[in-house]
Amino acid sequence: MTRGDAAAAEPLPKPAGAVAPLAQASTPPTLADSHGEHLAYVALGANLADPLTQVRAAARALASLPDCRLLRLSSLYRTAPVGNRSIRGQADFINAVAALYTRLSPAQLLDALFVIERRFGRRREYHHAPRTLDLDLLLYDERIVDSQRLRVPHPRMHLRAFVIAPLLEIAPQALIPGRGRAAAWLPAVSSQSIERLVE
């Protein structure tokens, strides 16, 4: 995602009352297992064309990716656009984070995310353009990837309430390689406006 990371006005509600529709968040998912599966976290975001429906449908699309299974999906969160003036003028975003077990490599998973984005009609018109659907690969086991096309952990994830809050909801113990516990970044994002939607 390319939204800016500047702080906005309202305090971040604690992601309490965690909803983990597919599994209990109290049992942390384990990393790569003996079946060759890897644990990946993907951020979902949309702010065009009925974003609630887009994010829900995108979660279903993630669940049906080949060689992947959806382990957990966070609640949906409504977040105010933050960043430069062109972004602040846009509609609110709907965000969520999904945990997947996958046999795909990080690069293959990124390609699969691009395919879903395209299927949802995302146009990359300009850098901060509003998006029908944006999917970012946040974490892949505890691996660090730093290629021209892919950086994992996502380089700005720790500065974004719309990533940190839903991530902590489904993975309270999550580690961001090179940056420590995700929970330690909550204070840094606590001034960004975010609302958990109760469904």
Catalytically annotated residues: 122, 131, 134, 136
Long-range contacts of 16-22 (CB under 8 A, 24+ apart): 18/75, 18/169, 18/170, 18/172, 19/74, 19/75, 19/169, 19/199, 20/72, 20/73, 20/74, 20/169, 20/170, 21/72, 21/73, 22/70, 22/71, 22/72, 22/73
Which parts of 81-140 interact with ligand AMP (CB under 6 A)?
Answer: 110, 134, 136-137
The residue count for binding ligand AMP (CB under 6 A) is 11
Which parts of 147-166 interact with ligand AMP (CB under 6 A)?
Answer: 149-152, 154
Q: Which is nearer to ligand AMP, 3 or 56 (CB)?
A: 3
Q: Which is nearer to ligand AMP, 37 or 134 (CB)?
A: 134
Work out how close the CB of 153 gets to ligand AMP at its nearest, in angstroms, rounded to a whole number: 7
Work out how close the CB of 82 gets to ligand AMP at its nearest, in angstroms, rounded to a whole number: 14
C-alpha to C-alpha distance for 68 and 116, rounded to whole angstroms: 14
Work out how close the CB of 5 gets to ligand AMP at its nearest, in angstroms, rounded to a whole number: 12
